[in-house]
């Protein structure tokens, strides 16, 4: 009996017939034994089977055992080979550190950027709005026929007619917004309130958590004041008191009864998302022209937005005919809720999507490039392994493992980058992000991962795929010479594509940067540094006209005497902070009355005379308002250049008169001042009309303080001084002009940062791609270059050849990219400010930059080429 050799036996799969044989042997030997002892052969056989037992059962049992055993062994073998492949892959990657780092970096950037941006966009735009039947809710906005857009507010009168005449809506919501003072619960605070109609609860499907919604009886004249609390307000300020229904609330010193609490997590769109909802009382004092109401409506089942639009256009026309004075040239726009919520953010976000898709493309192209080059360079190694007996499957698996390791590490880093990027975007980005912080979208993640991994794996397999038998032989024989020119062309094309895409991104971001710089250079028209402002609004119950004037005068006096204050003034609107008070002037002295909507519009500012000095608004003609302009004297006004241009074209406005709201006497224009860009440096604004609060009493003024030091630090002092005049008077909405201006620029700055980041990534990737092409080109042409050197070529000449190739590709890429950039420039027009999308300076600059980068990228391989030792090459290797 031979000694049993090693482990190999264990790995042999036991076939069923082996077990049969073993069992058969047992039976036969038993039979032999029994026969030898004298038993009859037939009897012996019977006895042998009997003694053996249930043959089939034992056979099957043994077979099962063997099968499981074999399976175990196969698993172990598999894992062992996978482990060895992993080791091989890691060693291989470690031997080419540059390639590994670059590949991982490329994957990280490509995956990270794409996942982050796509997640952000899909999170913001593609997530359904958190309202029941959100796609059936529309916004009804009144707008001028000449203008486009979603329209804005309308008057209550109009909405009553809309409700009466429409055929498309099953519910309508009307609301207007106020700021009121909440007293009786600690320090007086300013609180934002929305007046809503009962229809609001139907449109947005809101059922109060506690209490009841606003009922039609609450909207009738003489109805008591009622209020519903938002969930967050109820929890924060009233401690989630379950018995809050029926308790009183004091707003602007009027008594309100709490009738309910809104459900948790309900945030109405825009201004409906406020701490308090109060009842909208039918009140026609504003008239049909008092356009301060917002309207949302719920479509009837089966009615489309287009049908509703047609319906409303019809109604608008009828109203225009019935009330030509107020509704001339006005129509109604019906817009889906999503448009209203996301409208402003959509465009830039889609652009970002485009940019990140480009980056992903570049990244994939880069990876492919790198892998193809590497694969070809390793052709020899692969051929060697094949010659030594490695099966084609095994080699393929080894190459796959390497690709997988790259993909895995790159993907992990990419996901981490995406996470970080999303956090940064939430912090820096427009407010829409703050509302619902975007998270990593799983679908996007999966898609991006699949794409990157697929391209990694695919191009990593190229060496294996090139392995035909003849190629094998050739490879070994050619000792170092790389098989096939085809790979080179592919790589060149890929590098070209990357460069072109990089140019597009670079040009786009350059344009955006230029726009931003232009915006920053615009003169706002007012002083913005060290300017603190705050609302100091007076409640009607305690302040009549005379008292309010006295209050503001006294407050101004005290503040002016406070150390740290250089100038102080009051105004009804603070520029850049989102205030809006616009009037249309239809009655001018010495002219026929201008029809309703032809009246030139201006933003109405009720100010104290010190406002002009405080804001450093320049005087152009005449004089600014003065303390001498008291109520008893004839009312006067100061207008800005813009309003002067539109209301008094070609005339001198000084001495002209016009009628302004709340007084019947006409105001005389006494001065013209510089225009102020109140809606932001890049937005247009109609003119400004200034009157003094002494002549046009106004209870809702904001104080503006020019401080000698940091404006923000003055806030507590401001509060103190205000309360020294009236301890019950809160100040609210405290901020500095710088912050306000900054906020307006936020969206632009965000787009700039992101595009810039993308462009940076793109150019880095493109440079790497180019380097790869040139470097491997050099390796490939070693023999040729060696021959040239032997024939007398100078090393500088060699270097020049190499660099020239790089520059050639770069120029071609720049041209292609330039064409692409011009095409996309048009798409970007909305983001640009006074910058031509086809700006030749930008395009030229970017192209030159690209060529410069290409030069640098080519220098390293060029240097390597210069050091080629001709003798070494010719000696053969």
Partner 1 sequence: MANLDLLQGTLDLLVLKTLSWAPMHGYSVARHIRERSQDVFLIEEGALYPALHRLERRGWIESEWGVSENNRKAKFYQLTTQGRAQLHAEVATWERYTRAVAGVLQPA
Q: Which residues bind partner 1 (CB under 8 A)?
A: 1-2, 4-5, 9-10, 14, 18-19, 21-23, 25-26, 28-30, 32, 51-55, 57-59, 61-62, 65-66, 68-69, 72
Min dist. Cβ of residue 77 to partner 1 (A): 15
* Distance of closest approach, residue 399 Cβ to partner 1, in angstroms: 35
- Minimum distance of partner 1 from residue 60's CB (angstroms): 9
Closest to partner 1 by CB, 44 vs 244, is 44
* Structure tokens given for 822: 């011009």
Q: Round to whole Å and give the CA distance between 853 and 201.
A: 61
CB of 665 within 8 A of CB of 635? yes
Residue 45 CB, shortest distance to partner 1, in Å, is 14
In the bound complex, what is the minimum distance in angstroms from residue 75's beta carbon to partner 1? Answer: 13
Residue closer to partner 1 by CB (options 48, 802) is: 48
Q: Output 21 or 318, the one with its CB closest to partner 1.
A: 21
Measured from the CB atom, is 22 or 381 closer to partner 1? 22
**CA torsion angle 689 694 696 702 (round to 10):** 70
Residue 69 or 160 with smaller CB distance to partner 1: 69
For partner 1, give the closer residue by CB, 56 or 477.
56
Q: Are 586 and 595 in contact (CB under 8 A)?
A: yes
Least separation in angstroms between residue 17's CB and partner 1 is: 11
Output 78 or 350, the one with its CB closest to partner 1. 78
Nearer to partner 1, 58 or 473 (CB): 58
What's the min distance (Å) between Cβ of 3 and partner 1? 9
Give 161's contacts (C-beta < 8 A, 6+ positions apart).
315, 319
What Rg do the C-alpha atoms of the chain give, in angstroms? 40
CB of 59 to partner 1, least distance (A): 8
DSSP state of 579: -
Minimum separation from the CB atom of position 74 to partner 1 (A): 13
- In three-state secondary structure terms, 147 is coil
Considering the complex, state which of residue 54 and residue 784 has its C-beta at the smaller distance from partner 1.
Answer: 54
Q: CA distances (Å), 366 to each of 399, 490, 818, 856, 857, in order?
A: 18, 12, 20, 18, 14
Closest Cα partner for 703 from 531, 561, 548?
Answer: 531
Least distance to partner 1 from the beta carbon of 4, Å? 4
By beta-carbon proximity to partner 1, the closer residue of 56 and 94 is 56
CB 407 within 8 A of CB 453: yes
What DSSP element (H or E) covers 603?
strand 601-607
Cβ neighbours, 10 Å, residue 826: 9
CB 519 within 8 Å of CB 742: no
The distance of closest approach from Cβ of residue 81 to partner 1 in the complex, given in angstroms and rounded to an integer, is: 21
Integer Cα distance of 487 and 371 in angstroms: 11
Rounded Cα gap, residues 206 and 195, in angstroms: 15
Task: Identify which of residues 26 and 394 has a Cβ nearer to partner 1 in the complex.
Answer: 26
Question: Alpha-carbon distance 237 to 231, whole Å?
Answer: 10
Q: Least Å distance between CB 484 and partner 1?
A: 50
In the complex, the smallest distance separating the C-beta of residue 24 from partner 1, rounded to whole angstroms, is 9
Sign of the alpha-carbon dihedral angle for 843, 844, 845, 847: positive
Q: Please provide the DSSP assignment of 25-81 as one string.
A: HHHHHHHHHHHHTT--HHHHHHHHHHHH--HHHHHHHHHHHHHHHHHHHHHHHHHHH
- Smallest gap, in angstroms, from Cβ of residue 44 to partner 1? 14
51 vs 416, which CB is nearer to partner 1? 51
φ, ψ of residue 385 in degrees (nearest 5): -60, -40
Beta-bridged to residue 667, according to DSSP, are 658
28 vs 523 by CB, closer to partner 1: 28
DSSP 754-789: HHHHHHHHHHHHHHHHHHHHHHHHHHHTHHHHHHHH
Beta-strand runs (E) in 343-465: none
- CB nearer to partner 1: pick between 12 and 325: 12
Whether the CB-CB separation of 276 and 228 falls below 8 Å is answered with: yes
> Per the structure block, which two tokens stand in for 442?
């799983």
Min dist. Cβ of residue 368 to partner 1 (A): 47
Dihedral-angle region of residue 276 (phi above 0 means left; psi in -120 to 50 means alpha; beta otherwise) = beta
- Residue 150's CB is within 10 A of a number of other CB atoms, namely 15
Q: How far is the CB of 19 from partner 1 (least distance, A)?
A: 7
DSSP 3-state assignment of 258?
A: strand
CA 132, chain centre distance (Å): 25
Taking the CA atoms of residue 733, residue 738, residue 743 and residue 744 in that order, the dihedral angle to the nearest 10 degrees is: 110
CA dihedral 517, 519, 523, 529 (to 10 degrees): -80
- The end-to-end CA distance of the chain, in Å, is 54
Measured between alpha carbons, how far is 807 from 789 in angstroms, rounded to an integer?
22
Q: In this structure, what token pair is assigned to residue 15? A: 């076939």
For the bound state, the minimum distance from the C-beta of residue 33 to partner 1, rounded and expressed in Å, comes to: 8
Smallest gap from Cβ 452 to partner 1, in A, equals 43
Nearer Cβ to partner 1, position 29 or 708? 29
- Calculate helix-pair angle for 97-121, 737-780, nearest 10 degrees: 140
What is the 3-state composition of the chain as percent helix, strand, coil, each rounded to the nearest 5?
A: 55, 15, 30
Q: Which is nearer to partner 1, 20 or 439 (CB)?
A: 20
Nearest to 568 by CA among 608, 627, 529: 608
Judged by CB, which is closer to partner 1: 1, or 146?
Answer: 1
Phi, psi of 664 (to 5 degrees): -85, -25
Nearer to partner 1, 27 or 400 (CB): 27
């Amino acid at each position: 009996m031979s000694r049993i050799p090693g482990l190999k036996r264990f790995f042999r799969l036991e076939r069923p017939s082996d077990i049969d044989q073993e069992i058969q042997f047992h039976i036969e030997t038993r039979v032999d034994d029994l026969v030898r002892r004298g038993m009859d052969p037939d009897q012996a056989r019977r006895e042998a089977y009997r003694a053996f037992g249930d043959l089939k059962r034992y056979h099957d049992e043994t077979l099962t055992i063997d099968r499981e055993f074999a399976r175990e062994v196969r698993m172990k073998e598999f894992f062992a080979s996978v482990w060895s492949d992993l080791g091989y892959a890691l060693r291989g990657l470690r031997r080419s550190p540059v390639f590994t780092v670059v590949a991982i970096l490329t994957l990280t950037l490509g995956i990270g950027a794409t996942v982050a941006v796509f997640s952000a966009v899909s999170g913001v735009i593609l997530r359904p709005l958190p309202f029941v039947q959100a796609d059936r809710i529309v916004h009804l906005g009144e707008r001028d026929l000449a203008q486009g857009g979603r329209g804005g507010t309308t008057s209550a009168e109009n909405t009553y007619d809309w409700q009466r005449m429409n055929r498309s809506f099953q519910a309508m919501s009307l609301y207007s917004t106020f700021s009121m003072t909440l007293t009786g619960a600690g320090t007086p605070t300013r609180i934002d309130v929305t007046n809503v109609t009962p229809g609001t609860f139907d449109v947005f499907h809101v059922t109060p958590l506690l209490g009841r919604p606003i009922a039609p009886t609450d909207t009738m004249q003489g109805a008591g004041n009622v209020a519903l609390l938002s969930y967050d307000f109820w929890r924060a300020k009233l401690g989630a008191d379950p018995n809050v229904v029926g308790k009183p609330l004091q707003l602007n010193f009027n008594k309100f009864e709490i009738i309910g609490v809104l459900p948790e997590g309900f945030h109405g769109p825009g201004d409906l998302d406020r701490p308090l909802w109060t009842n909208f009382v039918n009140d026609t004092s504003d008239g049909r022209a008092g356009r301060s109401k917002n309207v949302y409506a719920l479509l009837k089942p089966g009615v489309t937005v287009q049908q509703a639009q047609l319906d409303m256009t019809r109604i608008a026309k009828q109203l225009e005919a019935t009330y030509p004075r107020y509704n001339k040239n006005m129509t109604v726009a019906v817009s889906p809720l999503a448009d209203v919520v996301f409208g402003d953010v959509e465009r830039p976000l889609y652009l970002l999507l485009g940019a990140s898709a480009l980056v992903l493309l570049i990244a994939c192209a880069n990876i492919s490039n790198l892998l193809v080059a590497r694969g070809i360079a390793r052709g020899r190694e692969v051929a060697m392994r094949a010659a030594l007996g490695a099966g084609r499957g095994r080699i393929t698996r080894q190459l796959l493992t390497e690709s997988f390791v790259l993909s895995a590490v790159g993907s992990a880093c990419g996901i981490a980058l995406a996470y970080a990027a999303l956090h940064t975007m939430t912090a820096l980005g427009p407010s829409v992000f703050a509302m619902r912080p975007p998270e990593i979208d799983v679908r996007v993640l999966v898609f991006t991962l699949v794409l990157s991994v697929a391209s990694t794996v695919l191009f990593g397999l190229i060496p294996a795929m090139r392995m035909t038998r003849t190629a094998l032989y050739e490879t070994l024989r050619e000792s170092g010479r790389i098989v096939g020119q085809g790979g080179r062309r592919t790589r060149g094309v890929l590098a070209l594509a990357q460069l072109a895409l990089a140019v597009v991104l670079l040009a786009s971001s350059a344009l955006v940067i230029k726009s931003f710089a232009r915006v920053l250079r615009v003169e706002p028209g007012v002083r913005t540094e060290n300017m603190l402002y705050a609302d100091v609004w007076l409640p009607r119950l305690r302040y009549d006209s005379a008292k309010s004037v006295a209050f503001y005068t006294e407050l101004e006096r005290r503040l002016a005497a406070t150390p740290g204050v250089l100038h102080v003034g009051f105004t009804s609107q603070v520029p850049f902070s989102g205030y809006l008070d616009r009037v249309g002037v239809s009655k001018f002295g010495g002219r026929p009355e201008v029809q309703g909507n032809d009246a030139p519009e201006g933003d109405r500012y009720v100010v104290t005379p010190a406002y002009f000095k405080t804001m450093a608004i320049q005087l152009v003609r005449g004089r600014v308002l003065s303390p001498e302009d008291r109520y008893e004297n004839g009312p006067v006004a100061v207008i800005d250049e813009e309003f002067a241009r539109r209301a008094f074209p070609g005339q001198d406005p000084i001495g002209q008169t016009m009628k302004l709201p709340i007084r019947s006497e006409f105001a005389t224009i006494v001065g013209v001042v510089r225009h102020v860009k109140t809606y932001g440096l890049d937005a247009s604004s109609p003119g400004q009309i200034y009157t003094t609060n002494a002549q046009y009493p106004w209870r809702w003024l904001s104080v503006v303080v020019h401080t000698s030091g940091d404006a923000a630090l003055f806030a507590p002092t401001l509060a103190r001084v205000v309360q020294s005049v009236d301890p019950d008077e809160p100040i609210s909405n405290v901020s500095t002009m710088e912050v306000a201006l900054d906020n307006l620029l936020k969206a632009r700055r965000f787009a700039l940062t992101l595009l810039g980041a993308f462009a940076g990534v793109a150019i880095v990737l493109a440079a790497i791609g180019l380097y790869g092409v040139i470097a491997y080109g050099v390796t490939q042409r070693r023999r040729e270059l060696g021959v040239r050197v032997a024939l007398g070529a100078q090393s500088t000449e060699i270097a020049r050849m190499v660099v020239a190739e790089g520059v050639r590709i770069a120029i071609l890429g720049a041209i292609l990219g330039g064409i692409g950039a011009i095409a996309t420039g048009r798409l970007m027009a909305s983001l640009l400010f006074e910058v031509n999308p086809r700006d030749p300076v930008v395009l030229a600059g970017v192209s030159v930059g690209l060529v410069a980068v290409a030069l640098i990228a080519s220098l390293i391989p060029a240097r390597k080429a210069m050091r080629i030792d001709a003798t070494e090459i010719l000696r053969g290797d």
